[in-house]
A and B are shown apart, each in its own frame.
Chain A
């Protein structure tokens, strides 16, 4: 049977502020080896605080048990499949973690003299050249801290490019299937946003786009393959159209996992692209971060990269080059999420050119296998060929008043994390599935069986599905209640 959930012990745990007792500690320092000084002599007493109310005191065992128990309440990729469309949750190789924790890397300071940071700079430089080659672009900044931060960086560079030619222009075009961060990034760059509709095949409506493009348009922000998993086959024409009006093409690189070694954004007319290292290049999601969002650009945008860029001297030594007069400035202090850069490079070097291509091939095969097996049970709103992910809708189950959110919760009872739901917005009741290449046929079959079982339950016992999950350590949380009177911190009971 496909349900792999069974009962087992699950320890309750209080909030850390309800634990411990005064006098316990899990930490000690060597005795002070310089003369003791009375703090009040060194610092005005008005600048000092008395005590921090509410901070608990714990022993090392208390700390270990508290967080270990919390950890057991999480689903995670090492436990099983995360079929999250657009989020690309694949296995995180263990060697990445070990390499990122090497003492020389974690203790390196970006303001150290160049002679003391050649190893770290070499990692960043090598990663830059790999990302440029994989994407078909010319220059790279590793500075952005996350995908959406990369979007902001890219749009600011587009703005600086147009400004250097005398006019920043007024608006950014964004397909209606885009990630929600796209319009937000454009807006905080000072641009107006104009939505471009999708056609019946689920791709950008070229006729509508022709009408929207004019000399006020700074760029289009396009995701390719788009959020339906469909390759924008007319991307070449779209790029030509934008370029003929002096506008640029920004690509959201969230879906790069579908195309490594298969096709390159730089070869189909993209001018600037951000890459989510935590998606394609296996740096872990960490429960919501840290991410990393390097931006790769064509030559024309290179002068506008955030400073510093990594320069090389004739003797081969590397250095941070701050002398960048046309730069958009700094987008983050220092130069990016270096720990993520080590992990991403480790993954790229573990795969090599053949391996990365194989990654994309298998990711697309796995997604199409799921598509083929589930399309009898779930509605497929767009029938175009899809790559690494597939979007179904809950249309058929909705007849029984079972909606995508209910099925997502029910899937937990079968031992799976739910797929991405309610996105993209152009599909009502969207169920967006992306298995990635790191799932075996057996894991996919178990997931498919669970989905088919839930489709059957939706017809036969809809109320049961709507009350799911039934086996998790807590049931559905009253989110509306939590938002109405938000409790955002612990306070002692009075």
Chain B
């Protein structure tokens, strides 16, 4: 076998030196009646050329002949080549979790840089080393707010990604956490009056809002944070489309702390991580400094070695499962380190100006696509509020020619379609997509 170095002769010699009779005797601790007396019934071994053929045949089936204009939490952005070149270095991808700081300064410093980038982009004081993805990140944010507020009631905008809401429900239901949904207005935003009416009832731990929301509409997150704080609730802002942070006012940025988020959480797949059929992606979380000990997930801190040299180390791990076990802040035991590295390289490569340009192109192309739909087809664009790179149009059949039918998530919208247009869509592709809806 090509991945096992020891030959039959090596193995015989090792058995002899260890005083063992045979390979089979190594398993004497497993009772005979529990031993499998046949070979596993899985496909027979393939050689490397056969493996390539096997996987290429399947990948070819899914290769995109034309763009699908589907976003819904997973965005197709241009990925600079340098990312793949650097993360393909085995020093990064074949390294272990950096528990031994002296042998893992590369990973540790890269995570420290990621934490800084996320803090800058969200306008928050501190960020963690990443979480599994945006959906579990939002669930962790709810559990964190639950620990901080010591109240059980959460108000979630119905415009939050429906699968994210489902994950929050799964995490919350055995911990006595109640989730109430706040409806949207005809312009496609969380209804502030309905939110206030629910807040007036009292006992709210936190309000959760997403911007751009699942319809692609920009929420007035700062107004919502202010409203939540007025009723002594925490505010959680969820960001599925991280690229938007390059142009939109950061949830943590305002002259008044009352108007800023307590926890910003989201999905950073847009920063150089491919869609990859739903994963791996990259959850992020940022918060105020005073909440850091309740923040789940890993943290890298800057420190000094005994000679006074700057170095990096995993820190504040007393919050984590391997120390506090059932009292831990969460059961998370990992982060998405390699994806966080991809995002860090992406941000280093695009810089602040490149990121802004990506945002501007997304907005312009989305506006163009929306205008063309109105002009060239009889379909209406729903929800007039400002948008980033997604929008919803009326539709009447089950299978849209492009985009995602919303009937599974928002039955009241019928067969309305969510369309996503990023900088990767060329004008003629947008025009062809528009024609499909005529």
Once the chains are docked, how many angstroms separate the CA of A366 from the CA of B6? 9
CB distance from A248 to the nearest CB of B (A): 16
What string of 1s and 0s marks CB contacts (under 8 Å) between B285-321 and chain A? 0000000100000111111111101011101101001
Docked-complex contact B354 and A105, CB < 8 angstroms: no
Knowing A58-B351, A441-B14 are in contact, say whether A338-B277 is a contact too (CB < 8 A).
yes
Once the chains are docked, how many angstroms separate the CA of A472 from the CA of B100? 11
Within 201-231 of A, Cβ neighbours of B (below 8 Å) are at 230-231
CB distance from A440 to the nearest CB of B (A): 4
Docked-complex contact B102 and A289, CB < 8 angstroms: no
Docked-complex contact B253 and A472, CB < 8 angstroms: no
Once the chains are docked, how many angstroms separate the CA of A356 from the CA of B107? 31
Q: B159-167, B193-201, B202-210, B375-383: which lies at the A interface?
A: B159-167
Docked-complex contact B113 and A352, CB < 8 angstroms: no
Contact pick for A287, options B107, B166, B174, CB 8 Å: B107
Q: A38-46, A295-303, A452-460: which lies at the B interface?
A: A38-46
What string of 1s and 0s marks CB contacts (under 8 Å) between A283-306 and chain B? 011111111100000000000001
Once the chains are docked, how many angstroms separate the CA of A147 from the CA of B18? 33
Docked-complex contact A385 and B253, CB < 8 angstroms: no
How many of chain B's residues have a CB under 8 angstroms from any CB in A? 193
Knowing A70-B109, A92-B94 are in contact, say whether A291-B102 is a contact too (CB < 8 A).
no
Contact pick for A77, options B63, B94, B106, B130, CB 8 Å: B94
Knowing A330-B163, A346-B55, A387-B26 are in contact, say whether A181-B333 is a contact too (CB < 8 A).
yes
Give every chain B residue within 8 A of A316 (Cβ-Cβ): none
Docked-complex contact A486 and B95, CB < 8 angstroms: no
CB distance from A192 to the nearest CB of B (A): 8
Docked-complex contact B170 and A330, CB < 8 angstroms: yes
Q: B148-156, B224-232, B364-372: which lies at the A interface?
A: B364-372
Tell me if B46 is interfacial: C-beta within 8 Å of chain A: yes
Give every chain B residue within 8 A of A139 (Cβ-Cβ): none
Once the chains are docked, how many angstroms separate the CA of A44 from the CA of B250? 14
Docked-complex contact B302 and A287, CB < 8 angstroms: no
Tell me if A245 is interfacial: C-beta within 8 Å of chain B: no
CB distance from A277 to the nearest CB of B (A): 11
Within 229-273 of B, Cβ neighbours of A (below 8 Å) are at 246-250, 253
Tell me if A312 is interfacial: C-beta within 8 Å of chain B: no
Knowing A184-B321, A337-B280, A338-B278 are in contact, say whether A73-B105 is a contact too (CB < 8 A).
yes
Contact pick for A329, options B40, B44, B132, B166, CB 8 Å: B166
Docked-complex contact B136 and A149, CB < 8 angstroms: yes
Tell me if A4 is interfacial: C-beta within 8 Å of chain B: no
Q: Which partner residue on chain A sits nearest B309 by CB separation?
A: A474
Tell me if B419 is interfacial: C-beta within 8 Å of chain A: no
Give every chain B residue within 8 A of A72 (Cβ-Cβ): 91, 106
Docked-complex contact A479 and B18, CB < 8 angstroms: no
What string of 1s and 0s marks CB contacts (under 8 Å) between B58-95 and chain A? 11111110001010111010101010111011111111
Tell me if B412 is interfacial: C-beta within 8 Å of chain A: no
Knowing A289-B334, A362-B11 are in contact, say whether A109-B29 is a contact too (CB < 8 A).
no
Q: Which partner residue on chain B sits nearest A45 by CB separation?
A: B249
Knowing A330-B166, A332-B132, A486-B316 are in contact, say whether A372-B18 is a contact too (CB < 8 A).
yes
Give every chain B residue within 8 A of A181 (Cβ-Cβ): 321-322, 331, 333
CB distance from A155 to the nearest CB of B (A): 9
Docked-complex contact A290 and B116, CB < 8 angstroms: no
Docked-complex contact A108 and B275, CB < 8 angstroms: yes
Tell me if A267 is interfacial: C-beta within 8 Å of chain B: yes
Docked-complex contact B354 and A27, CB < 8 angstroms: yes
Give every chain B residue within 8 A of A110 (Cβ-Cβ): 74, 277-278
CB distance from B347 to the nearest CB of A (A): 7
Give every chain A residue within 8 A of B28 (Cβ-Cβ): 385
What string of 1s and 0s marks CB contacts (under 8 Å) between A311-326 and chain B? 0000000000010000
Docked-complex contact A39 and B247, CB < 8 angstroms: yes
Tell me if A236 is interfacial: C-beta within 8 Å of chain B: yes
Docked-complex contact A33 and B423, CB < 8 angstroms: no
Contact pick for A331, options B57, B161, B170, B248, CB 8 Å: B170
Give every chain A residue within 8 A of B93 (Cβ-Cβ): 92, 97, 284, 286-287
What string of 1s and 0s marks CB contacts (under 8 Å) between B1-40 and chain A? 1111110001101110111100100111111011110011
Knowing A108-B277, A285-B96 are in contact, say whether A26-B166 is a contact too (CB < 8 A).
no
Once the chains are docked, how many angstroms separate the CA of A103 from the CA of B275? 11
Docked-complex contact B350 and A27, CB < 8 angstroms: yes
Q: Which partner residue on chain B sits nearest A190 by CB separation?
A: B174
Once the chains are docked, how many angstroms separate the CA of A288 from the CA of B341? 11
CB distance from B213 to the nearest CB of A (A): 13
Tell me if B133 is interfacial: C-beta within 8 Å of chain A: yes
Tell me if B433 is interfacial: C-beta within 8 Å of chain A: no
List the 4 shortest-distance A-B pairs measured between CB atoms, nearest first: A334-B278, A352-B45, A190-B174, A104-B59
Known: A42-B363, A67-B86, A335-B279. 17 other contacts (CB 8 A): A20-B351, A26-B82, A34-B427, A58-B349, A71-B91, A109-B277, A122-B61, A130-B43, A284-B93, A286-B341, A287-B98, A306-B170, A350-B46, A364-B26, A441-B13, A474-B309, A490-B302
